[in-house]
Structure 1
Amino acid sequence: MADGPVRSGRSVAAAPDVRAVVVGTGPVAAAVAAAWAPDVRVVDETPAVDPQEALRGAEVLVLVAHPGDLTVTAGRRGPDGHAAAVAHAQRTLAAARAVGVRHVVVVTSAVVHGASPDRPTIHDDEPLLTGRRAVADGLVGHLLAVEAVVARTARRRTPLVTVLRPAALVGGGVDSFVTRHFEAPRLLTVRGVARPWQLVHVDDVAAATRFAVERGLVGPLTVGPADVLTPDEVARAAGMRTVELAAATAFGTAERLHRVGVLPAPAAELAYVVYPWTVAADGLTAAGFVPQRSSAAALEVLLDGVRGRLALGGRRVATRDAAALGAAGAAVALLGTAAIWRQARRR
Structure 2
Amino acid sequence: MSSPDPQVRAARNPSDPTPPDPDGGQDSVPAEETPAVAAAPARESSPPARGPVVAVTGAAAGVGAQLTERLAASEQIKQVVAIDERRGECARAQWHVLDVRDPAIAEKLRGVDVVVHLALDLDLETDAAARTAYNVRGTQTVLTAAAAAGVHRVVLCTSAMVYGALSDNELPLSEDAELRATAEATGVGDLLEIERLARRAPRAHPGLNVTVVRPAILVGGTDTALTRYFESPRLLVVAGSRPAWQFCHVDDLCSALEYAVVEKVDGELAVGCDGWLEQEEVEELSGIRRMELPSTVALGAAARLHRIGLTPSPAGDLAYTMYPWVVSVSRLHDAGWRPQWTNEEVLAELLDEVAGRRTVAGRRLGRKDATAAGAAGATVALLGTAALVRRARKARRRL
- TM-score scaled to structure 2, two decimals? 0.75
Write the letter of the residue equivalent to 2:116: V
Q: Indicate yes or no: 2:69 matched with 1:34.
A: yes
Q: Could you tell me which residue of structure 1 aligns to residue 174 of structure 2?
A: 123
1:299 CA displacement: 0.7
Residues 262-309 of structure 1, C-alpha deviations (whole Å, 9 max, x = no match) = 121221111112221101112111111101111111111111110111
Q: Indicate yes or no: 2:397 matched with 1:338.
A: no
Is the 1:332–1:340 contact (alpha carbons within 8 Å) kept by the matching residues of 2?
A: no
Could you say if the C-alpha distance between residues 154 and 269 of structure 1 is closer, same or farther in structure 2, counting changes exceeding 3 Å? farther
Q: Could you tell me which residue of structure 1 aligns to residue 369 of structure 2?
A: 321
Is the 1:66–1:108 contact (alpha carbons within 8 Å) kept by the matching residues of 2?
A: no
Deviates more, 1:176-185 or 1:188-197: 188-197
96, 114, 126: which one aligns with 1:60: 114
Q: Indicate yes or no: 2:219 matched with 1:170.
A: yes
Q: Could you tell me which residue of structure 2 aligns to residue 88 of structure 1?
A: 138
Q: Could you tell me which residue of structure 2 aligns to residue 297 of structure 1?
A: 345
Matches within 5 A, 1:65-144: 67=121, 69-72=123-126, 75-76=127-128, 82-120=132-170, 121-129=172-180, 134-135=182-183, 138-144=186-192
Higher helix share: 1
Is the 1:188–1:242 contact (alpha carbons within 8 Å) kept by the matching residues of 2?
A: yes
Is the 2:18–2:108 contact (alpha carbons within 8 Å) kept by the matching residues of 1?
A: no
Q: Could you tell me which residue of structure 2 aligns to residue 234 of structure 1?
A: 282
Structure 2, unaligned runs of 5 or more: 1-9, 23-52, 74-78, 85-98, 389-399
Q: Indicate yes or no: 2:201 matched with 1:153.
A: yes
1:58 CA displacement: 1.5
Could you say if the C-alpha distance between residues 43 and 9 of structure 1 is closer, same or farther in structure 2, counting changes exceeding 3 Å? farther
Q: Could you tell me which residue of structure 2 aligns to residue 23 of structure 1?
A: 57
1:261 CA displacement: 0.9
Matches within 5 A, 1:123-272: 123-129=174-180, 134-135=182-183, 138-155=186-203, 156-171=205-220, 173-272=221-320
Q: Distance in 1 between matches of 2:234 and 2:292?
A: 10
Is the 2:234–2:378 contact (alpha carbons within 8 Å) kept by the matching residues of 1?
A: yes
Is the 2:151–2:208 contact (alpha carbons within 8 Å) kept by the matching residues of 1?
A: yes
Could you say if the C-alpha distance between residues 67 and 24 of structure 1 is closer, same or farther in structure 2, counting changes exceeding 3 Å? same
Could you say if the C-alpha distance between residues 98 and 32 of structure 1 is closer, same or farther in structure 2, counting changes exceeding 3 Å? same
1:46 CA displacement: 1.7
- TM-score scaled to structure 1, two decimals? 0.86
Query: Which structure has the larger Rg over C-alpha atoms?
Result: 2
Higher RCO, Cα 8 Å, sep 6+? 1
Could you say if the C-alpha distance between residues 341 and 273 of structure 1 is closer, same or farther in structure 2, counting changes exceeding 3 Å? farther
1:56 CA displacement: 2.2
Write the letter of the residue equivalent to 1:324: A
Q: Distance in 2 between matches of 1:116 and 1:341?
A: 29
Residues 61-106 of structure 1, C-alpha deviations (whole Å, 9 max, x = no match) = 001265564334xx315xx862332221111111111111122110
Residues 7-40 of structure 1, C-alpha deviations (whole Å, 9 max, x = no match) = 9955544343472111126422222223222432
Write the letter of the residue equivalent to 1:84: Y
Residues 307-335 of structure 1, C-alpha deviations (whole Å, 9 max, x = no match) = 111111211112233122253452447xx
Is the 1:205–1:223 contact (alpha carbons within 8 Å) kept by the matching residues of 2?
A: yes
Could you say if the C-alpha distance between residues 8 and 284 of structure 1 is closer, same or farther in structure 2, counting changes exceeding 3 Å? farther
